[in-house]
Amino acid sequence: MAGLAVNVDHVATLRNARGGNEPDPVHAAVLVELAGADGVVVHLRGDRRHIKDRDVYLIRQIVRTKMILEMAPTEEMLAIACKVKPHQATLVPERRMEITTEGGLDIAANRKEVVHAIETLHKEGILVSLFIDQDQRQVSLASEVGADVVELHTGAFCEANTPKERSQLFEHIALAARQAHSQGLVVHAGHGLGYKTLEAFFDFPEIAEFSIGHSIISRAVFVGLEAAVGEMLDLVRQV
């Protein structure tokens, strides 16, 4: 049975639309846990477009399951992570103009920063996940640089235009997941997943956890956060 970590960034997006305090992602973190999720995820971006520093510190204090901090491997974020001490840090690439994280981390191109980030986070006892594309070369590199977890990018699969493209991308995810698992890495998956796309992952035992945000927060607008998390949990527990 896989786990579900819920990303509450878009509660902060809604809050920031009016520049006030509501809705509060800290309240969302409490509800997400009460609904049975296995973890709460926040992405503190360099431009602070949704989650702000105060959210990260407060959510770390109140979360009782697992708090996951998504971050770029920059000195600024490393300093914050070392103070906050999340249970896990997920290293992601960050481009200023992107709407959301567009691709996985290129470990080869950023090896020095990634190794430095992993060493710094490990010294504080923080598990490190690397968000990578469904690419077997990246899986090998993740293992080489000492990551604990890889999160496989499911965005392209979820957005595939044709059944052929979809099944090719799925096959790549499956190969990468099997390889990562056999190399002793814990395998997570995330980005773009929704209530309909999750079905493809039933019977995929290598995936230990899904990281899902936008679809759950979108559904919560209509049915409430507890119900939206509960419906996703029902699906995730079938994996």
Catalytic-labelled residue, pool 70, 94, 206, 209: 70
Looking up tokens 């896989």 gives 2
Q: Is 37 helix (H, G, I), strand (E, B) or coil?
A: coil
Catalytic-labelled residue, pool 188, 191, 206, 209: 191
The residue (of 84 and 164) whose beta carbon lies closer to ligand PXP is: 84
Among residues 46, 48, 83, 100, which is the contact residue for ligand PXP, using CB under 6 A?
Answer: 100
- Whether 87 sits among the annotated catalytic residues: the reply is no
- Whether 191 sits among the annotated catalytic residues: the reply is yes
* CA 200 to the chain's CA centroid: 19
40: β partners: 6, 67
Q: Could you tell me the CA-to-CA distances from 112 to 71, 109, 118, 132, 145 in Å, in that order?
A: 16, 8, 10, 16, 10
AA identity, residue 146: G
Site for ligand PXP in 128-187 (CB under 6 A): 131, 151
The residue (of 192 and 230) whose beta carbon lies closer to ligand PXP is: 192
Q: Is 152 helix (H, G, I), strand (E, B) or coil?
A: strand
Smallest distance from ligand PXP to CB 22, Å: 21
Site for ligand PXP in 3-42 (CB under 6 A): 7, 9
Residue 210 interacting with ligand PXP (CB under 6 A): no
User: With contact defined as beta carbons under 8 Å apart, do 38 and 72 qualify?
Assistant: no
| Region near ligand PXP per CB under 6 A, out of 73-81, 105-113, 114-122, 208-216 | 208-216
Residue 236 interacting with ligand PXP (CB under 6 A): no
CA torsion, ordered 93, 19, 15, 17, to nearest 10 deg? -80
Smallest distance from ligand PXP to CB 97, Å: 15
Site for ligand PXP in 39-78 (CB under 6 A): 43, 70
Smallest distance from ligand PXP to CB 157, Å: 12
Helices assigned H by DSSP within the chain:
9-18, 25-34, 53-62, 75-84, 111-123, 136-144, 155-158, 163-182, 214-223, 225-236
- Whether 153 sits among the annotated catalytic residues: the reply is no
Catalytic residue IDs:
43, 70, 191
Binding site for ligand PXP (CB under 6 A): 7, 9, 43, 70, 90, 92, 100-101, 131, 151, 190-193, 211-215
